[in-house]
Structure 1
Amino acid sequence: MIVDRGSDFPPSIQNELEKYGSDMWMFRDQPESRTTRALNSYRGDFRGFEYLTPRIRITPRDLDGTKLAQPAMLHFICSPSRASVIMSQVDDVPGWDPITIYEPIPDRCVPEELPALVKVLPSISILSPNAEEALSLLSYDLSPSKESIEQAASKLLELGVKDSVIVRSGSMGAYITTRDKGGRWVSAFWDKSEHPGKVIDVTGAGNSFLGGLAAGLDITGNDVYEATFYATVSASFTIEQEGLPTMTEAGWNDDSPSTRLEMLKSRHRI
């Protein structure tokens, strides 16, 4: 993960990050700037997001000359117009054809952004909004339900996504639809109604889901359905506490990711 470290970067956060090992991070020092901060607010199922400081942008060109140059997979969160800029820089690099995982930034998931989104979709391997964002982009005046989510995912795929759409749907799980294999649900690892004590803070769940998805794609030979199991397990550790999960000898939060992976897969076996 790339971390823009401003002049006010908290030592306590630095210490926490260093516990995971240096291979986890690539710090970009910004001595003339403050560390980017944002506010996530939750009112029931409604999520608000607001930047509190000027955002610092990153583009594929910024990866040149670093250990992250020309990665096999590229996950980015931004507006559709910024996504077009990112993809134009990818196209400028001969021989670089990454799997692109695009997560539209929440405040741009509005109907007015749909034309710009449609423009970039043919360059996007996997599009992944959450349920509310998908419905909002398409002007669907519907509450999130399995039926409305499947409808939205199919429409987004129809609008030109290269390979797959994954709609992250909270306690309902994730709905995946692809051009060649159709749609499929993968349940959430923790059901809030059945395990209320395990769902503490969902901030970062989408990011960890899509990071886990990228890892799963690499492990499974780009099988997006199988990779979604890895994504779901990754998110399950993020929501168990405020902040980051802890690493122990037993695994994450004293639990084994591979054990959770098998448990999740077993729920979907016929």
Structure 2
Amino acid sequence: MASKDVSDKHRAFVSLGMFIVDEFSFADEDGNPTGKTMAPQIGGGGTYASIGARIWLPSSQVGMIIDRGHDFPAHIQDALNVYGADMWQFRDDPNRGTTRALNAYKGEHRGFEYLTPRLRITPHDLLDTKLSHARVLHFICSPTRAAAIMSEVKRVEKWHPTTVYEPIPDRCVPEELPALRSVLPEISVLSPNAEEALSLLSMPANPTKESIESACSAFLDMGIGPKGDGAVVIRSGAMGACIGLKGNPCSWVEAFWNGEDSADKVVDVTGAGNSFLGGLGAGMVLSNGDVREATLYATVSASYTIEQEGLPRLSQATDDNGEVVEVWNGDSAHHRLQALRVCLAAKGTK
């Protein structure tokens, strides 16, 4: 089993993020081709978030819309089906290509640009599909678009989702702070990464635990959630995640892979933040809204994403009781969750 049963007629987790076919080019520091090649891969923040949730939930409880063009690669369709064909709500359009982007590496630097027009996904698009009325709704966008999303959500009868808002990186600038402040009362969980949080607040770069906690408190003081009961979770790379809840001191959950003995585990951090938030959304459902507990699930989801280029690998294995279970990158998510609990308990942080 992927997780304990989640009994609800609606999906536990749905992302409004996009699916992208990622293409790659590789050059050295001087811009000369290295000769390295890589086949197109599954990409997109919504895809990584959905897989982050799928690590904990059955495929029937997770979902997103995928715009499938006339050039949709067969090997990518097969790869998606491994995670569960019922996860994906396809919108087919034979008159356009699938959304694609180029990841252009020059030495260690990665550039990113869209090769095709983007198609946004809105809450209205979920209606009359198997993804309607999700219990947790995840979205990645500017503060202004977040307000438009929440306006649509409020117009849907009998839908009051837990919302997980991931600000889009290029809009994490001080000029966007007024728009962010305006939408925060509608948001359940705000989760920028550390650099984005400091940039929004015009704080010095080079995050430290102290500056991250200050940023966390500043966002809380703006008022998150309809009753001021929302949360801030600042994703801070190897430092872990900083959790802010009104009326409580900030707390931390360490990254699963950290320290010198974990260096070989960190292969590619692309999508780690997205999968973290998918895990957080799943954890919110499984823990009945306990944000700190949900952050443990999130941390494990991110740990699988950084171990390879591309999405974590799903397979099956037989456990000690002879039952067939799902494993990710050959390892049990629940075993990792328990290991994280033990580690935090030993350090007196859980």
Pairwise TM-score range, normalised by the shorter structure: over 0.9
User: Could you give the per-residue CA deviations for residues 162-207 of structure 1, whole angstroms, max 9, x where no partner exists?
Assistant: 2100000111110010114331100000116321111111111111
Aligned residues: 270
Give the drift of 1:35.
1.8
Report Cα offsets for 1:102-129 as digits up to 9, x if no partner: 0001111111111111111110010000
SS in 2 for 1:191: coil
C-alpha change, 1:47 and 1:182, in structure 2 (3 Å) is farther
Q: Which of 311, 330, 343 matches 1:254? A: 330
Q: Tell whether the 8 Å contact from 2:65 to 2:121 is kept in structure 1 after alignment.
A: no
Which residue of structure 1 lines up, in the alignment, with residue 293 of structure 2? Answer: 226
Residues 1:178 and 2:254 aligned together:
no
2:186 corresponds to 1:123: yes
Residue aligning to 2:24 = none
Gaps of at least 5 residues in structure 1 are none
Q: Percent identity?
A: 61
Contact in 2 for aligned 1:192/1:199 (Cα 8 Å): no
Partner of 1:238: 305
1:208 equivalenced with 2:286 (yes/no) = no
- Which consecutive segments of 4 or more residues in structure 1 shift more than 6 A? 41-47
Q: Render the CA deviation track for 1:71-103: whole Å, top value 9, x for unaligned.
A: 111100011111111000111122211101000
1:42–1:114: structure 2 CA closer, same or farther, 3 Å change rule? farther
Q: Deviations over 1:43-96 (max 9, x none)?
A: 999876543322111111100111110111110001111111100011112221
Q: Deviations over 1:181-237 (max 9, x none)?
A: 331100000116321111111111111111111111111110000000000001111
Matches of 1:215 and 1:42 in 2, distance apart? Answer: 33
AA aligned opposite 1:108: R
Name which structure has the greater RCO, CA cutoff 8 Å, separation 6+. Answer: 2
Is this contact kept in 1: 2:195–2:205, CA < 8 A? Answer: no
Q: 1:227 to 1:160 in 2, by over 3 A?
A: same
Alignment correspondent of 2:341: 265
Q: Give distance in 1, aligned partners of 2:100 and 2:200.
A: 25
Work out the CA distance in 2 between the residues paired with 1:200 and 1:91.
Answer: 41
Contact kept? 2:140, 2:168, Cα under 8 Å:
yes
- Which residue does 2:150 correspond to in 1? 87
For 2:342 and 2:312, the matched residues in 1 are separated by: 24
Aligned to 1:189, the other structure's residue is in SS state coil
Cα distance, 1:245 vs. partner? 1.3
Please report the TM-score for the alignment, with normalisation by the length of structure 2: 0.73
Partner residue, 1:191: 258
1:53 aligns to 2:116 (yes or no): yes
Deviation per residue, 1:138-177 (Å, 9 max, x gap) = 1112311111111111111112222100000111110010
The one-letter code of the counterpart of 1:127 is L
Distance 2:110 2:237 in 1: 12
TM-score normalised to the size of structure 1? Answer: 0.94
Structure 2 segments unaligned to the other structure (5+ residues): 1-63, 318-326
Alignment of 1:4-153 (within 5 A): 4-39=67-102, 49-153=112-216
CA 1:40–1:100: 2 relative to 1, 3 Å? farther
Distance 1:158 1:43 in 2: 41
| Structure index of larger Rg | 2
